[in-house]
Amino acid sequence: MGCDGGTIPKRHELVKGPRKAVKVDKNAEMVARWNYCALSQEKLRQPIVACELGRLYNKAAIIEFLLDKSADKTAMEAASHIKSIKNVTELNLADNPAWGGDKESIKGDKYDEFQSARFICPVVGLEMNGRHRFCYLRNCGCVFSERALKEIKSEVCHKCGVHFQEEDVIILNGSKEDVEVLRKRMEDRRLKSKLEKKSKKCKSVESASRQDPTEDCPGPSKAKTEKNCIDSSSGEKRRIIFTKSSDNRNSSVPRKVKKASSAATKRSIADSEEKSEAYKSIFTSHSSAKRPKDKCSNWVTHTAYCF
């Protein structure tokens, strides 16, 4: 069919060339970025949070994303840099008194006004619809327009009075250049926090190892402690005196050992003349503990202990 009746087809009708680039509607793109969650693609509802790159999310969607530990979890590019709930900040937004509500509840054919927005800047009054640059502070989460921060230069938040620095100002839905700058700041901030945690842990370990319990106890310059110990082989008592000088605390503590008796430690107690008979009768080597063979049966032991 076709090409009959004297029709002459043109080249673009017969040969297919490269496809033209699809133009994205700017109004639709702004609505998607400023009115919908970057993770779940649902409408933004309070509470609203923002990441360190300036993207907007529903807090419920972020919590569900972090709690999902399944193996088949899809990798989301919009939330790949969010590792915990501390990586996002809940925004303190100012409502727009001229906001008429969601457009879904309005019936009939009406013109969609893209200029109107749900939130505004509390200082200048500009609407947060994507046509003006907005930013938020990491310390408190208050949202302002960039014009307000430039016109009223201050190191204190205009809404809550919290101090902030230039690094704490994060652009919301910024350009590619803004996102690259914010990503570099985020990486530097996380690396710095890791190094601080490691240094604190090392300092705590060193302080615990250096801590000496003897130095914590206050006392006189020269302290003497006496300790009575019993020799296991002979049962004799020894008195040990420990002395500690105040001049050299780190030096080894000298010891003086004094024996209570001059008798040899290996001498039998039964042969000792210093011990009384009552004391000697306790041991099995005493003559009272021994019985003659005619009075001992074969199955009864002749001593107080069993072999």
pLDDT (mean) for 231-238:
46
Distance CA 144, CA 141 (A): 10
117 alpha carbon, distance to own chain's centre: 38
The whole-chain average pLDDT of the chain stands at 75
* Top-confidence residue, 10 or 2: 10
Which of 68-82, 121-135, 242-256 has the highest mean predicted lDDT (pLDDT)? 121-135
pLDDT (mean) for 121-125:
89
pLDDT (mean) for 62-70:
88
Q: What's the CATH code of the domain at 139?
A: 3.30.40
Q: Are residues 148 and 258 in the same domain?
A: no
Query: Does residue 237 fall inside a structural domain?
Result: yes
Q: Are residues 46 and 183 in the same domain?
A: yes
pLDDT (mean) for 40-48:
90
Q: Are residues 86 and 165 in the same domain?
A: yes
CB atoms within 10 A of CB 79: 20
For 124-145, what is each residue's pLDDT tens digit? Answer: 888 888 888 999 999 899 999 9
For 34, phi then psi, to 5°, come to: -105, -15
pLDDT at residue 257 tops 50: no
Counted domains in the chain: 2
Euclidean distance between the first and the last CA atom of the chain, given in angstroms as a whole number: 122
Q: Are residues 240 and 153 in the same domain?
A: no
Burial string for 34-46 (b: 16+ CB within 10 Å, else e) reads bbbbbbbeeebee
Strand 237-244 and strand 255-259: pairing? antiparallel
Q: Are residues 37 and 139 in the same domain?
A: yes
Q: Are residues 172 and 47 in the same domain?
A: yes
pLDDT at residue 208 tops 90: no
Burial string for 259-293 (b: 16+ CB within 10 Å, else e) reads eeeeeeeeeebeeeeeeeeeebeeeeeeeeeeeee
For 104-119, what is each residue's pLDDT tens digit? Answer: 445 555 555 556 788 9
pLDDT (mean) for 204-213:
74
pLDDT (mean) for 179-185:
92
Residue percentage of the chain with pLDDT more than 70: 68
Q: Are residues 161 and 254 in the same domain?
A: no
Query: Does residue 302 fall inside a structural domain?
Result: no
Q: Are residues 147 and 245 in the same domain?
A: no
Residues 6+ away with beta carbon under 8 Å from 57: 37, 38, 39, 40, 48, 49, 50, 51, 79, 88
* Top-confidence residue, 15 or 240: 15
pTM of the model: 0.57
Query: Does residue 130 fall inside a structural domain?
Result: yes
In the Cβ-directed half-sphere of 145, how many Cα atoms lie within 13 Å? 18
Domain that holds residue 175: 22-67+78-99+112-189
pLDDT at residue 200 tops 80: yes
Query: Does residue 258 fall inside a structural domain?
Result: yes
Distance CA 20, CA 196 (A): 53
